[in-house]
Amino acid sequence: METTLIILKPDAVQRGLMGKIISRFEDKGLAIVGMKMMTISQELAGTHYGDHKGKPFYDGLVGFMTSSPVLVMAVQGVGAIAMCRKMMGATFGSKAEPGTIRGDFGSSNSFNLIHGSDSPEAAAKEIGLFFNDGDIQTMDRAIQGWVYDMASGSPE
């Protein structure tokens, strides 16, 4: 099982898309094991997007991410990182395929609705930025055997 960080950005929250987007992850069989609504501070945004510091879009990105509340989630499942990124679609809504979150709900090349960790290392770091010890839940879900083939004893 992998756990990844998903952020529903200010545009998704302001547009009332939280429920529709959360449903997509749950419908896929992924588990929401941590979730909170928050307004990201300038300091936290600067840390989270530190790799982009100095790039032309950095100040606008930090300004956007701190402009309104976001919904932060820890999402878990087999291959959750790649699966969530595929579900999100291409970075720019105008280029994202229909059927993806950005393809179905996004048009802007600046406001792209959602963030998802891009690697296990990034997921661990990002989850640590947004969640405290004890915030991520451990869940034994009764549906697990219907989401994954458990014949070998491990989810496939």
Express each pLDDT in 26-60 by its tens digit. Answer: 999 999 999 999 999 999 999 999 889 999 999 99
In a domain, residue 51? The reply is: no
What CATH number is given to the structural domain containing 84?
A: 3.30.70.141
Residue 153: inside a domain, yes or no? no
Among residues 74, 18, 76, 8, which one has the least CA distance to residue 40? Answer: 8
Q: Point out the catalytic residue in the list 93, 115, 116, 123.
A: 115
pTM, 2 dp: 0.93
**Residue 59 domain flag:** no
Contacts of 55 (CB under 8 A, 6+ apart): none
Domain of residue 79: give its range: 2-40+70-142
**pLDDT (tens digit per residue) in 1-24:** 899 999 999 999 999 999 999 999
Q: How many domains does the chain have?
A: 1
12 within domain boundaries: yes
C-alpha triplet 132, 135, 136: angle, nearest 5°: 115
Report the pLDDT averaged over residues 123-139. 95
Is-catalytic flag, 115?
yes
Q: For residue 127, is it within any domain?
A: yes
